[in-house]
Structure 1
């Protein structure tokens, strides 16, 4: 099947309708913010409707107030808003409301392999990755210092 690039803003309403009716929507996300787990051009993600309860480590497609679409992982909740961070990032994004969220990733398709994101293996990996951000930040800083010498 031939792939073609379509901007999410062009099909946002269609995606929302499909998910609201219990369907699924798959696409190839762009960008590097979710590496190493989701790699642009290699991995396809499948979205489903948001569950009643959004959990820490869920991967959610949401829309920022400036109109940008973002696929990031939930790292926490504060009052009535959620905290998100890309796996390849070190800073949290605060204040994302449920109304901004479009769908939750249920699986990653990598070639012939289907990776369900709600299985115990993935949730353990996600917990490790999210909770070691400080150490990864220190490692990155040290590598930069070595390059400067």
Structure 2
């Protein structure tokens, strides 16, 4: 496996977006869990072609040069409040010029999801309002995932 500098890689993807292309990237990091899982899921993104709004997933660059994919949880003119689906701390005052792409669809658990699908809508409309309850929701999600894995293992042993 070849390692690539993250800044160079995302910089190249950003150039493609600025040329009007839609780009696909595998998720790295855990801030968007449980919706998007590190190494398993992918995002598809392009230049925002409309006004950004609450619930949109965006790709942006922090002043220190870190590239981040988070969801908009507040709009204040030309600045935004952003948060990862797995987080409880809101990042305030992200300027519009820091945002270079909007996520248009995702590949989650091997299936393509776009706005209008059940899970997209759940995280966009319901999960965004549950910020104080997210730690409990994440624990329940992990517990359910563990039970599903144990069930699948038991089924394999039976065959």
Cα RMSD between the aligned structures? 2.2
1:65 alignment partner, SS class: coil
How many residues are aligned here? Answer: 137
Q: C-alpha separation between the residues in 2 aligned to 1:60 and 1:87?
A: 12
Tell me which residue corresponds to 2:91: 93
Matched, 1:119 2:116: yes
Detail structure 1 runs of 4+ shifted over 6 Å in the superposition. none
- The TM-score normalised by the length of structure 2 is 0.76
Matched, 1:31 2:29: yes
In structure 2, which of residues 53, 75, 79 is the aligned counterpart of residue 77 of structure 1?
Answer: 75
**Ranges in structure 2 where 5+ consecutive residues have no aligned partner:** 138-159
Distance 1:89 1:18, change over 3 A: same
1:129 alignment partner, SS class: helix
Tell me which residue corresponds to 1:132: 130
Tell me which residue corresponds to 1:40: 38
Q: C-alpha separation between the residues in 2 aligned to 1:37 and 1:85?
A: 13
The structure with more helix, counted as a fraction of residues? 2
- The TM-score normalised by the length of structure 1 is 0.81
**Ranges in structure 1 where 5+ consecutive residues have no aligned partner:** 141-149
- Larger Rg over CA atoms: 2
Tell me which residue corresponds to 2:48: 50
